[in-house]
């Protein structure tokens, strides 16, 4: 088995349990309210499955892979939020 600390396994199980609960809740809502569109909720839950899955996979590989992954995410977030097309909003009147 991969070397994941026991407290991390408990946290991972809790997160997976919440995702399973969210997925089941959406399926029940969709079955009860046939006329209502739950596409946005479905897409959000699917994106959380992908995010959590990729995070857990990287954390299970090695600490070096996790550091590289988080470094990439930080760089991507920083470069995305500091572009000229996305100006920063500064609070006024403080």
pTM: 0.69
Residue 33, domain member (yes or no): yes
Task: Dump the DSSP string for 28-71.
Answer: HHHHH-TTS--HHHHHHHHHHHHHHHHHHHHHHH-HHHHHHHHH
Question: Cα(10)–Cα(16) distance, rounded to whole angstroms?
Answer: 10
pLDDT tens profile 2-13? 677 888 889 999
Question: Cα(19)–Cα(94) distance, rounded to whole angstroms?
Answer: 40
pLDDT tens profile 11-58? 999 999 999 999 999 999 999 999 899 999 999 999 999 999 988 888
What's the domain count of the chain?
1
Contacts 24+ apart (CB under 8 A), 63-66: none
Q: Residue 31 belongs to what domain range?
A: 6-81
Residue 51, domain member (yes or no): yes
Residue 26, domain member (yes or no): yes
Q: Between 88 and 6, name the one with better pLDDT.
A: 6
Confidence of residue 88 (pLDDT cuts 50, 70, 90): low
| Residue closest to 11 by CA, chosen among 56, 49, 45, 44 | 56
Q: What is the largest CA-CA distance in the chain?
A: 56
Residue 88, domain member (yes or no): no
Residue 42, domain member (yes or no): yes
């Amino acid at each position: 088995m991969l070397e994941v600390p026991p407290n991390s396994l408990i946290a991972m199980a809790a997160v997976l349990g919440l995702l399973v609960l969210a997925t089941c809740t959406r399926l029940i809502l969709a079955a009860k309210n046939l006329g209502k569109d739950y596409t946005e909720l479905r897409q959000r839950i699917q994106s959380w499955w992908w995010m959590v899955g990729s995070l857990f996979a990287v954390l299970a590989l090695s600490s070096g892979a996790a550091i590289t992954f988080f470094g990439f995410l930080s760089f991507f977030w920083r470069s995305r939020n500091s572009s000229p097309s996305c100006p920063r909003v500064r609070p006024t009147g403080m």
